Structure 1
Amino acid sequence: MPDTPAAGYLLAAVAVAVAVTWALRALPFAALAPLRSSPLVAYLGAAMPVGVMVILAAYTLRHLTPRDPGAAWPTLLALAATVAVHLWRRNVLLSILGGTAVHVVLASAVFAS
């Protein structure tokens, strides 16, 4: 039968694991606390929603082929719906979710037929 580690050794190993886990979970909060008053973070908070929408639009349109209108129209209608919802409500999350829902419904209708 193999030798089992001493109880003190096991307790020390568990204590180290607890300390490392706690430190890794607390570190982001401690590092971000001074950044909350930063003007750069305030700017990024205001500018990033537009950046996210541009990245999502570019990602969606990267394989759009106008030569295949059957595959292009769901994407273009979803893009138009996203722009319309955003101009109407000025809510990035609602625009993204609405455009995604329109795209999923239209794309599933195209692929189902």
Structure 2
Amino acid sequence: MTTAQSIITIFMVILGTMITRFLPFIIFPEGKTPPKYITYLGTVLPYAVIGLLVVYCLKDAVFTTYHGLPEIIAIAFIIFLHKWKKNALLSIGAGTVLYMSLVQNIFQ
């Protein structure tokens, strides 16, 4: 890429990011009530995205042998920790650390 193409690419990425960040605030200002389907999507989509991420992460796991054991241990740990502490960031971070240590140190 030339310097001009790199600058144009960076500008377009910045523009796309700014549009996706600021457009909802322009379309739905603070005093205006959003449509019911937008409110519904705001309620339902976070859970759907988490479900899709879990399915995507487990799509290649083999549960017929010990290869699925680190995933099962990490998921059980995440569920336990989240029920106990009710902190999503802590649960995800600690579960990731546990899973990576299991995969790299115990289940090689």
- How high is the TM-score relative to the length of structure 2? 0.61
In structure 2, what is the equivalent of residue 11 of structure 1?
none
In structure 1, what is the equivalent of residue 5 of structure 2?
none
2: distance between equivalents of 1:90 and 1:108? 28
In structure 1, what is the equivalent of residue 28 of structure 2?
35
**Could you tell me which of 37, 51, 54 is aligned with 1:57?**
54
Q: Do the aligned partners of 1:49 and 1:92 also contact (CA within 8 Å) in 2?
A: no
In structure 2, what is the equivalent of residue 66 of structure 1?
63
Structure 2's unaligned 5+ residue stretches are: 1-7
The structure whose Rg is larger is: 1
2: distance between equivalents of 1:26 and 1:56? 25
Aligned AA (1:62): K
Percent identity reads: 24
Counterparts of 1:32-111 in structure 2, within 5 Å, are: 32-33=24-25, 34-35=27-28, 37-38=33-34, 40-69=37-66, 71-109=67-105, 110-111=107-108
SS for the counterpart of 1:107 is helix
1: distance between equivalents of 2:64 and 2:18? 53
2: distance between equivalents of 1:48 and 1:28? 17
> Greater share of helix residues, 1 or 2?
1
Aligned AA (2:23): A
* Equivalent residue pairs, number: 91
- How high is the TM-score relative to the length of structure 1? 0.59
Q: CA RMSD in A?
A: 3.0
